[in-house]
Every structure is written in structure tokens, then in C-alpha cells.
Amino acid sequence: MRTFFSGLIALALALPALAAERKFDLKDAPIGQPPAGFRSLVTGEGKPGDWQVLLDSAPSQFQALTPNAANYTKRPVIAQLSQDATDERFPFLMYDGESYGDFTLTTKFKIVSGTAEQMAGVAFRIQDEKNYYVLRASALGNNLRFYKFVDGKRSLPIGPDTPITKNEWHELKVQCQGNQITCWLNGKALIPPLTDNSFMNGKVGLWTKSDAVSYFADTQVTYTPKDPRAQKVIGEMIAAYPRLRGLKIVAPKTGSDSAAMVVLGSTVEADLGKPGEEVHQNVFKRESIYYSKGKENVTLVMPLRDRNGEMLGAVELLMESFFGQTESNAIGRAMPIVKSMQTRIQTAKDLFE
């Protein structure tokens, strides 16, 4: 199953450093199906939502040719269609990919119908279905509210009364930097900047309440990428050992012996997240060493162990060769590098921090 989003690196003016941007692109998503890469959850009572990709007339992503031209196009949007009117029912659709710390999340929304409620919002810094922040708009109440769920219980809402029209597209935006949270509706910061320490990172999602039928489009996240420990260690080793021509950390993604191995750190950024090769699997399972010599380089794949000597993964080293290079002296050159890496990565958790 394909995951319908695209990622690119861009300079985000709202953030202090080069940031990554995640756009949720639905152009190839199957109509009438849930969007791939997301998970349907519910807080409170009742059933999870019925989330589907539908075609709807949504604001065009391109500027109109003339000022008076209708700037809408028929294109895929994400819709919550369930009309379960259970009062304390909060269906949301969580993106099951990255967790974000500092980020800006924007989405367009349209509230279509609802008898008990007419709401649409975003959930962010999601820990699970009982712990997260919410920014939502209500067409029945004509208000914008921020609150949080902690252990499934809602905090007191914060936000103003403001007109929210049904069957029209609006925009929500939220920015988190550390413990600072700023919220916008249609480009206006209607809620004063908030300070809260409950959740410092987490996942993001689309949110509704009770029987509200709502549509979402053009959802995107601009965020400061985390530099995982594995990648930091790669950089430290390359700086400390200038004769290293390449370095890679490959390990089971879940920390389980039976899980498929992936590249968690590499001097070649394009390798990150790719599946490990058979040689990595063999070194990991057999706790062995692989050696290969070329004209100018030697390649070693060696075990990476935790502080108790248990297998964490494999380290692939590409080093300069020299006249008289043997497997024995290549291992002797590589061993201090691997040991230095093991002082920095002592548990499976360290690989993913």
C-alpha cells in the first residue's frame, strides 16, 4: 500500500534553522478508502470515525487567472463521515509517521453537517488516544477553542467566540516551539500565545467531535528534524577518524531480533531508512565479521553491541586501503572506531533518540 504524502527540505522562515516540510498529497489516493499512512483513533465513548478520501470542490492550490475567477477545483480531500452522535466521542485520524517537537501545522477544513456537533480541528503532540492537544473550530458554537486531553480528561477550553460558517473552507494553523503554542484561524492569531509543558513532542492528526461531518485539505507540517543519536555518532566518528571514507549503522527498527534491519545512520543521507542488506543480517545473526578488499578501499561489517555485550546491530566501515593490507590489520584499525561508537550507543533506545 502506498503512503500518499511527499516530503521536501525547505527553508522555513518561521523556524530558526533549515526545516523539513511534510505535505500530505492525496492526488493518487484511492477514492472511498482511508488515506494510507494514517490511523483512526477515538477518545471517549463511541466508535472510531469513518475516514475516507473523497472528491470535493476545494480551494485551488494555484492562483486564479483573474481576480473574479472561481478559485476552486475538484480534488481529493480527507473526510470524516461517521454520524455517531455519542456526546463524549472525539474521533481523530493520526498520521502514523514521525513525531514532531518544534513544528508548524496547517490545514484547510470545511464543516459539512452535524446535529449534535459541527466541529473540525487538529490534534497535535499526540502521545496516544488519551493524551494530546487540540485546536478546533465549531460552527454550532461559533467559536475557536484550544484544550488538551490528559488521561482522557479535557482541560478547560481557551479561545474566543468567532463566526465559523458551514460549507465554507477555513484554515487552522498551530505552531509549537518548546513549550510555546500559537494558534491561528484564517490567518489571525485569535488565541494569545500559550505556555504548556504537558507534551513536548508527539504525532499530529485531524480531529472531530460526535456526529460532525468535516472535510480536510492541504494539510502540511513544517518541522525541525530530529537528529537521531545514530546519525550524530556517524558525524562524530567521521570527524575523529579522517581516513574513514564511509560509515553506516544498520539495526532492527523495533529493537527485536526478528525485525527487518534498516539503515539508521549513514554518511550517505539517501541510505537512511533503507532496508539492510544480507551481509548486515548475517553479521547481526551470527555475530561474525565480514571483510572485503578492493583496489583502494576495504569494507568491514562488524557487530554493534550494547553495554551488556548483547547485539544491537551492525556497523559497516569503508576505509582506505594500503599496500600490504590484510583482514587482520583492517579489523585492528576498525575495532577502536566500533568501540568508540559503543560508548555512545549503549542501548537499543539510544539508536532511536
In the chain, % of residues over pLDDT 90: 72
Query: Which range, 4-18, 59-73, 333-347, is most confident?
Result: 333-347
Residue-wise pLDDT tens digits, 265-296: 899 878 888 899 999 999 999 999 999 998 88
The structure's pTM equals 0.66
**Do 290 and 328 fall into the same domain?**
yes
pLDDT at 69 over 70: no
| pLDDT score recorded for residue 10 | 34
Last residue of a domain, one of 200, 223, 246: 223
**Do 279 and 332 fall into the same domain?**
yes
**What are the residues facing 214 on neighbouring strands?**
80, 111
pLDDT at 110 over 50: yes
Nearest alpha-carbon partner for 137 in 104, 161, 103, 155 = 161
**Do 39 and 119 fall into the same domain?**
yes
Residue-wise pLDDT tens digits, 307-327: 999 999 999 999 988 888 899
**Do 100 and 244 fall into the same domain?**
no
Task: State how many domains the chain has.
Answer: 2
**Do 242 and 108 fall into the same domain?**
no
The reply to whether 233 falls in a domain is: yes
**Do 183 and 215 fall into the same domain?**
yes
Confidence of residue 17 (pLDDT cuts 50, 70, 90): very low
The reply to whether 143 falls in a domain is: yes
pLDDT at 260 over 90: no
**Do 255 and 318 fall into the same domain?**
yes
Give me the domain span that covers residue 266: 229-351
**Do 322 and 219 fall into the same domain?**
no
**Do 101 and 28 fall into the same domain?**
yes
| pLDDT score recorded for residue 254 | 61
pLDDT at 89 over 90: yes
The reply to whether 1 falls in a domain is: no
Note the residue count of the chain: 353
Confidence of residue 5 (pLDDT cuts 50, 70, 90): very low
Confidence of residue 169 (pLDDT cuts 50, 70, 90): very high
Non-local CB neighbours of 296 within 8 Å, separated by 6+ positions: 320, 321
| pLDDT score recorded for residue 63 | 55
The reply to whether 247 falls in a domain is: yes
**Do 174 and 305 fall into the same domain?**
no
Average pLDDT taken over every residue of the chain? 89
Last residue of a domain, one of 207, 223, 239: 223
**Do 272 and 294 fall into the same domain?**
yes
Of 351 and 85, the one with more pLDDT: 85
Alpha helices in the chain (DSSP H): 229-240, 278-286, 327-344
| pLDDT score recorded for residue 171 | 98
- Please spell the DSSP secondary structure of 53-95, one letter per residue: EEEEEEE-SS--SSTTS--EEEEEEEEE------TTEEEEEEE
| pLDDT score recorded for residue 11 | 32
Which CATH number belongs to the domain containing residue 291 in this structure? Answer: 3.30.450.40
Q: How many Å apart are CA 148 and CA 172, to the nearest integer? A: 17
Q: How many Å apart are CA 57 and CA 169, to the nearest integer? A: 10
pLDDT at 147 over 50: yes
**Do 170 and 286 fall into the same domain?**
no
Q: Are 280 and 257 in contact (CB under 8 A)?
A: no
Last residue of a domain, one of 203, 223, 243: 223
In the chain, % of residues over pLDDT 70: 90
Query: Which range, 19-23, 136-140, 232-236, is most confident?
Result: 136-140
Residue-wise pLDDT tens digits, 22-57: 999 999 999 999 999 999 999 999 999 999 999 999
pLDDT at 16 over 50: no
Which CATH number belongs to the domain containing residue 194 in this structure? Answer: 2.60.120.560
Residue range 190-206: mean pLDDT, rounded:
95
The reply to whether 115 falls in a domain is: yes
Residue range 82-87: mean pLDDT, rounded:
95
| pLDDT score recorded for residue 15 | 35
Q: Which residues of 307-346 are buried (b: 16+ CB within 10 A; e: fewer)?
A: eeeebbbbbbbbbeeeeeeeeeebbebbeebbeebbeebe
